[in-house]
Structure 1
Amino acid sequence: MKIDSARLASHLKSGLRPLYVVCGDAPLLLIESADAIRAKASKEGYAEREVFTCEQGFDWNSIIESALSPSLFCPKKVVDLRIPSGKVGTDGAAALQRYVENLQPDVVTLIALPKLDRASRNSKWFGALEKAGVLVEADTVPRSELPSWISARLSAQGQKAGKATLEFLSDRVEGNLLAAHQEIQKLGLLFPEGDLDHEEVRRAVLDVARYDIFQLGEAMMQANSLRFLRILEGLKGEGTAELLVLWQIAEEIRATLRVGSALKSGVSQGQALKDAKIWGSRQQAVIRASGRIGIDRLGEMLKNAAKIDRMIKGLCPGDVWDELRELGLDFAATGRNG
């Protein structure tokens, strides 16, 4: 069974399952999800908890022995296994598969993992965990969903914000849910329950956005020029290497060119995406971009990227950040309706 972390509270109202796997790239949601499961277990009488952290040389038999060895004073326990690297090795893979084949009725097992790569998610050990238990996905909230996420959190503390305020808050905390959580809590301390005043919120909230390079490419693919500019300025202010920014912009152009060229030659959409190694939610964005930007135009953009590369290396004059801005905006705006 697979659920989003936002649905965990509702799920727990129906009772506990023997196995929970919390997995994702959002530290706040990972912490909150694990805390919610432990709190539910405690309320249900699982008073004992053993914590294991998988590190080099970890003894996988220890978790099996723990599950099979109930306490004399408290038969119900929580086995709390943390795997920070997401790597379990051959022994760990075999041990986890054996473990889930013999889940104990008086033991709740909680396994915490980071966001896993494609190979790990397709592995037999992960498949066994997902089949036997509840997979709680705790991934970063996309920018498009941040306003509703913030609104729900404000509502939980008796506050309400208008659309403009929610968009403002989303812009400030994008990519940093821990900071978003802190800002929401701060609003709860500063202002009474009820409607929040937009200007008061603006004055109270710090600019805590922490941009990452992949969000820049996402904004380009979405043809969102304003978001692209905001993230680019954030990366510049944080001292991000110019070459890294150029690599991300050029990678989006190359991916779109590969897919667009394949589609033009008659390759099916699915095969074009597979050949270009484009997966998941990024697929539709690339397809849309290849539909609005011609192959010749994409080729010109790559030539501009090569020129910026020479600028970074000091081989030709120019303002690198200005050129990066123009290149990204060219991609975001070309062929866009309106």
Structure 2
Amino acid sequence: MAGQTPNYERFITDLGKPDAPLHPLYVISGDELLLRNEALDALRAACRRQGYTERVTLTLAATGPWHAIEENTQSISLFGDRKLMEIEVPTGKPGKTGGDALAAMATRAANGELNDISVALILPRADRTMSSAKWYTTVTQQAVLVTTPIITREQLPAWIQGRLKRQKQHADAATLAWITDKVEGNLLAAHQEILKLGLQYPEGELTLDEVENAILDVSRYNVFDMSHAILRGDGQRALKVLHGLQAEGEALPMVLGLLTYDIRNLYTLAQARQNGHNPRNLTRKLGLFPPKDQLILNTLDRLPFSQIMGLVQHAHDIDRLFKGFPADGRLTDPWQEMARLVLRMAETSVSTH
């Protein structure tokens, strides 16, 4: 039913039921890549079970091409196939043309005109500007709106424990705190380590020694080393670590997820500065602690706002490449394009904010 705002966990649980009703329009909103992808994966799985055999993915900026929405929602399958259309607006700023196109799509959904189509609109977490925009109000009034929760650094140990319990494992408070420090508050990194623990150890309690051995003995190169090198402006060191990670078989989504985490934090702080706020006052709220907080702030002083906006789009383009979709102006190899993103983030041009 239009206008629903289900709890995130309940949304995923309900979609897992065999007879889960599917709606014509969903909005999945949030800045945490892992949780957003989990919600989207749950929707994809439900659609597959109910005969949605076609999936179309659009990543759109204010420049469009917004006509692609109408083309994909009006096309009729000769074989009666159902379609899931995913529309991602990485910046949450569709512009006038895009906003009108999204509002028109929502109106068509409300009128029952999206036959055999389910649309998932993927957005960053709505700030005051987005939530007050006319297009956003129109869309969310007609959509099932799912907002991913914010997991603060203080909440992360409990979140890790909950994820461990899914694989019938658990750990004491000291062990959970150690994992939290090691992943620097990053959910995607925590998720990867939790999966690793599930593969390496049996069900039951995990000791601190076991966890340390599993997490420290992963590779010569570390994604956090790469992140720190980028934020220090040391592009050559960052590139060396990236190539090492690739050679050692590290999963590209894990590396990209960490970079996206840094980029999202930079974008949030840059927006705050644009609006006249002191970004230093927001670092703790974002879960940034020493030394990461100062590294992020230094990078904020290094890169102009326009370049940080470009990093958001660049990261999303690499995600598309990894999933097998082309991206205009990008190389075909996602690892090579990742190297370009690393050097772009490590540039030493000074922000004029």
TM range (shorter): 0.5 to 0.7
Q: CA deviation at 1:220?
A: 6.9
- The aligned residue for residue 187 of structure 1 is 197
Offset at residue 242 of structure 1 (A) = 10
Residue 83 (structure 1) aligns with: 89
Distance (whole Å) between structure 2 residues aligned to residue 233 and residue 116 of structure 1: 28
The answer on whether the counterparts of 2:170 and 2:205 sit within 8 Å (CA) in structure 1 is yes
Q: Which residue is 2:130 aligned to? A: 120
Partner in structure 2 of residue 241 of structure 1: 298
> How far apart in 2 are the matches of 1:220 and 1:145?
13
Is 1:51–2:57 an aligned residue pair?
A: yes
What's the counterpart of residue 6 of structure 1? Answer: 9
Specify whether residues 218 and 81 from structure 1 end up closer, same or farther in structure 2 by C-alpha distance, changes over 3 A only. Answer: closer
Is the 8 Å Cα contact of residues 140 and 177 (structure 1) preserved in structure 2? no
Give the match for residue 214 of structure 2. 204
What is the correspondence of 1:167-316 to structure 2 with a 5 Å cutoff? 167-206=177-216, 217=281, 231-235=289-293, 241=298
Distance in 1 separating the partners of 2:192 and 2:86: 27
Contact kept in structure 2, 1:179 and 1:208, CA below 8 Å: no
Correspondent of 2:116 among 99, 103, 106 = 106
- Letter paired with 2:59: T
* Contact in 2 for aligned 1:22/1:135 (Cα 8 Å): yes
- 1:22–1:30: 8 Å Cα contact kept in structure 2? yes
Matched, 1:131 2:141: yes
Instruction: Determine the C-alpha separation between the residues in 2 that align with 1:178 and 1:242.
Output: 22
C-alpha contact (below 8 Å) 1:23/1:112 kept by paired residues? yes
Q: Counterparts of 1:154-165 in structure 2 under 5 Å?
A: 154-165=164-175
Q: Which letter does structure 1 place at the counterpart of 2:9? A: A
Kindly tell me: are residues 121 and 153 of structure 1, through their superposed partners in 2, closer, same or farther at Cα, counting changes over 3 Å? same
Counterpart CA distance in 2 for 1:29 and 1:242 is 26
Tell me if the contact between 1:23 and 1:115 (Cα under 8 Å) persists in the aligned partners.
Answer: yes
Q: Distance in 2 between the 1:86 and 1:119 partners?
A: 10
Given the alignment, which residue of 3, 21, 24 partners 1:18? Answer: 24
Deviation at 1:176, TM superposition (A): 1.1
Question: What is the Cα deviation at residue 159 of structure 1?
Answer: 1.2
Shift of 1:99: 0.9
Distance 1:94 1:163, change over 3 A: same
Contact 2:56 2:84 in 1 (8 A): yes
- Name stretches of at least 5 consecutive residues in structure 2 with no aligned partner: 217-221, 228-261, 270-278, 302-353
In structure 1, C-alpha distance between the alignment counterparts of 2:199 and 2:73, rounded to whole Å? 43
1:191 Cα deviation after fit: 0.8
Paired position in structure 1 for 2:351: none
Identity, in percent, stands at 37
**Structure 1 length normalisation: TM-score?**
0.61
Per the alignment, residue 70 of structure 2 pairs with 64
Q: TM-score, normalised by structure 2?
A: 0.59
CA distance in 1, matches of 2:104, 2:299: 49
**1:195 partner amino acid:** E
Distance 1:239 1:116, change over 3 A: closer
Q: Return the alpha-carbon distance in structure 2 between the equivalents of residues 122 and 242 of structure 1.
A: 30
For the structure 1 residues 52 and 242, does the alpha-carbon distance in structure 2 shift closer, same or farther, using more than 3 Å as the test? closer
CA distance in 1, matches of 2:65, 2:176: 48
Give the alignment's Cα RMSD to 1 decimal.
Answer: 3.1
Residue 2 of structure 1 deviates from its aligned partner by 2.1
1:197 Cα shift? 1.5
1:7: how far off?
A: 3.1
Read off the aligned partner of 2:165 and give its amino acid letter: S
Bigger radius of gyration: 1
Question: Residues 217, 193 of structure 1: CA spacing in aligned structure 2 closer, same or farther, 3 A cutoff?
Answer: farther
Shift of 1:192: 0.9
Aligned partner letter, 1:10: T
Alpha-carbon distance in structure 2 between the residues aligned to 1:117 and 1:178: 23
| 1:216 shift after superposition | 7.2
How far, CA to CA, are the matches of 1:240 and 1:91 in structure 2?
34
Q: Distance in 1 between matches of 2:74 and 2:102?
A: 14
> Superposed, which structure 2 residues align to 1:317-336 within 5 Å?
none
Aligned counterparts of 1:61 and 1:52: Cα–Cα separation in 2: 11
Instruction: State the SS of the aligned residue for 2:6.
Output: strand
Name the count of aligned residue pairs: 237
Amino acid at match of 2:100: A
The farther-off stretch of 133-142 and 76-85 is: 133-142
Cα pair 1:2 1:130 within 8 Å, conserved? no
Q: In structure 2, what is the Cα distance between the partners aligned to 1:71 and 1:77?
A: 9
